[in-house]
Amino acid sequence: MPCFHPVGRPCIRISLFTRNFHFPNLRLVHRLDQYECRRQALFTLARVANMGATTSSPNISNAPKEAEPSAPVKDTVTSTAETPGNVENQPKGTATSTTESPKRVEKQPNKKRKVVATNRPVYGKSRLAHLGENSPSSAVSEESSAQEKGPRLPKRKVALLMGFCGTGYQGMQVNPGSKTIEGELFQALIKAGAVSQDNADDHKKVSLVRAARTDKGVHAAGQVVSLKMIIDIPDIVAKINQALPEQIRVWGYTRTVNSFNAKNLCDSRIYEYLLPTHVFLPPRPKPDVVSEHSAAQPLRSTPEEMAKRRAYRITPDVLNKVQQVLKLYEGTGNFHNYTIGKQFTDASATRRIFSFTSSEPKELQGTEWLSLKVHGQSFMMHQIRKMVGLMVLVVRSDLPQELIRKAMKADKINIPKAPGLGLLLEQVVYQAYNRKYGQENRGSISFTPYQTEIDAFKEKYIYSKLVEQELADDEFDAWLLFIEAHPEYFTSLISGDAPPEENQIVEANETSVAEVDGSSQTVDEKSTV
């Protein structure tokens, strides 16, 4: 039989051990608040106390007052109707408890509401409001601090085009405690206002990423850095350059898509290697004193000998041979012999060279130089320096040009690497990105508009520093003297015999050249250069 709750809601009636228990519908229970639950319980107790009385309407306060004589209920009346009021106006047999209990029930929820209201937070829903974080005083302090910092300017993703002379710096990438190119650049961006003070404590907040990693002393004429910076500042490039030292320059910037990454979207890289032409002089006869030197002892030519070597000028035939040998590197090949730690079976040893050319000779401070430019998809450690080193040996020693391709086969060959002094990053290329986004308003990433400035910068800060260091240390001459003094390390180039241990060759060659210039060599041609 259906049952109705005292407050007018249906409930479930369950018979258990001959006793009847009324349970409210569970769905309705979840919808009742605390006040309704308490009121419901009190009405239920009232009904239990007056089981003999006639069932009244749920709204007891509005029900008609009818007295029904019921003598046995007298005990329950005296026990439940304790509140004075209209009891004396009622007949003795009336169930006064059913009229008085609702009045007590209506007062109880009001008291509870007052208690709950006093415990509610004043500001917002969070309990932290009681601690004053959302208080009016804190809001005023935030507004004042915001006024001191000024209006927030939007950041935009850009490709920042720059160049630098790496002399005196410990490489491009940020290194705590070291003087680096990125460290100087980031501080200049802060001073110019391109990076806000909120992001001044960490370059990762502006997503600063370099296109190519360069190590100690390596130069770059066309480097790209991607970051989010403020560009709504008049003459922002000029302000950045004012905060930078003269040997670091920003050429300009290009607005890019938000997903642009200077390293991941770089298609290829162009490196330049500046080489003195006197390295193509024929090998000198091995003197007796040379045989007494160990691999760890650097060899030096006398000032008179060096003056004669610097007076050498390359002939057209030798220059033509240089260009022919460099062209043999073009294409896809296995360069496991042109790096360290790679085997012929390693897939990562396969690289693609788009072009390798030589410029016409030019004279700088009394010495003739060649500018070699190699354009490749990516490079491994020491790859460019070993490519230049083998080319020099083939030309000056009149070795067969087939050695270039032979070194790309499975046989292990030791190749001396040329000094790292002449290496510099010419520029990074974004051909695929420019083809996809170059026609849009963002523009292409190219160094062509700044080529005049770049050439002037290279002449003043890169070439001059490089030539001065070579004149002072004679690194290229020391490198050739080492090869001439210890041909046993490189006999496998001609005879095909088993070469000595690779680590021994690298260690000896590094020691000979490093002691000349007084510094460790750079780790240059990596995929992440």
Q: How far apart are CA 249 and CA 527, in angstroms?
A: 24
pLDDT of residue 173: 85
At a CB cut-off of 8 Å and minimum separation 6, what does 490 contact? 393, 414, 415, 416, 483
Q: Answer yes or no: is pLDDT of 264 > 70.
A: yes
| In the chain, % of residues over pLDDT 90 | 45
Structural domain that includes position 167: 152-255
Nearest to 276 by CA among 456, 452, 479, 520: 479
- Region 56-79: mean pLDDT is 45
Task: Indicate which CATH number applies to the domain containing 327.
Answer: 3.30.70.660
Considering the domain architecture, whether residues 69 and 205 belong to the same structural domain is answered as: no
Residue 64 and residue 19 share a domain: yes
360 and 247 belong to one structural domain: no
Structure tokens at 315: 């002939």
Q: What is the pLDDT of residues 418-471, one digit of tens each?
A: 998 889 999 999 999 999 888 766 789 999 999 999 999 999 999 998 999 999
Is it the case that residue 411 has pLDDT exceeding 60?
Answer: yes
Can you read off the two tokens belonging to residue 277?
């032409």
Q: In whole angstroms, give the CA distance from residue 382 to residue 355.
A: 18
- How many domains does one find in the chain? 4
Write out the catalytic residue numbers: 215
Higher-pLDDT residue of 478, 85: 478
% of the chain exceeding 70 in pLDDT: 62
| 162 CB-near residues (< 8 Å, 6+ apart) | 185, 220, 223, 224, 225, 248, 249, 250, 251
Q: Is residue 45 part of a domain?
A: yes
Q: Which residue has the higher pLDDT, 491 or 80?
A: 491
Residues 165 and 206 in one domain: yes
Residue 348 lies in a domain: yes
pLDDT band at 491 (very low <50, low <70, confident <90, very high): low
170 within a domain of the structure (yes/no)? yes
Statement: residue 293 has pLDDT above 60: no
Q: Are residues 235 and 289 in the same domain?
A: no
Angstrom distance (rounded) from CA 265 to CA 268: 9
Average pLDDT estimate for 301-318: 92
Residue 96, pLDDT > 50, answer no
Do the domain assignments include residue 68?
Answer: yes
CATH number assigned to the domain comprising residue 165: 3.30.70.580
Q: Is 430 annotated as a binding residue?
A: no
- Shared-domain flag, residues 100 and 159: no
Run of H or E including 109: helix 97-119
Task: Say if residue 111 is exposed, middle or buried (CB neighbours under 10 Å; 0-12, 13-18, 19+).
Answer: exposed
Residues 163 and 243 in one domain: yes
Q: Domain for residue 527, yes or no?
A: no
Model confidence pLDDT, tens digit, residues 223-259 = 999 999 999 999 999 999 999 999 999 999 999 999 9
In this structure, are 359 and 471 located in the same domain?
Answer: yes
Q: Which residue has the higher pLDDT, 299 or 198?
A: 198
What confidence score (pLDDT) does residue 181 get? 94
Q: Does residue 435 form part of some domain?
A: no
* Lowest mean pLDDT, pick from 132-141, 306-315, 469-478: 132-141
457 & 412 share domain: yes
* pLDDT value at residue 280: 96
Neighbours of 32 (CB within 10 A): 15
**Which of 197, 227, 255 lies at the terminal end of a domain, its last residue?**
255
DSSP-derived letter for residue 47 is H
Identify whether residues 30 and 106 lie together within a single domain. Answer: yes
298 — pLDDT class (breaks 50, 70, 90): low
Span 4-30, pLDDT tens digits? 555 555 554 444 444 444 545 544 444
106 and 229 fall within a common domain: no
Mean per-residue pLDDT over the chain, rounded = 75
pTM equals: 0.66
Amino acid at 225: V
pLDDT at 506: 42
What's the pLDDT at 79? 42
Of 524 and 327, the structure prediction assigns the larger pLDDT to 327
* Residue 264 domain-assigned (yes or no): no
Residue 232: beta bridge partners?
none
* Domain boundary, last residue among 119, 139, 169: 119
Domain membership of residue 209 (yes or no) is yes
Tell me, yes or no, whether 375 and 498 share the same domain.
yes
Per residue, what are the HEC states of 493-504? Answer: HCCCCCCCCHHH
pLDDT digits (tens, 9 = 90+) for 102-124: 445 444 555 444 444 444 444 44
**Sign, Cα dihedral of 271, 265, 251, 196:** negative
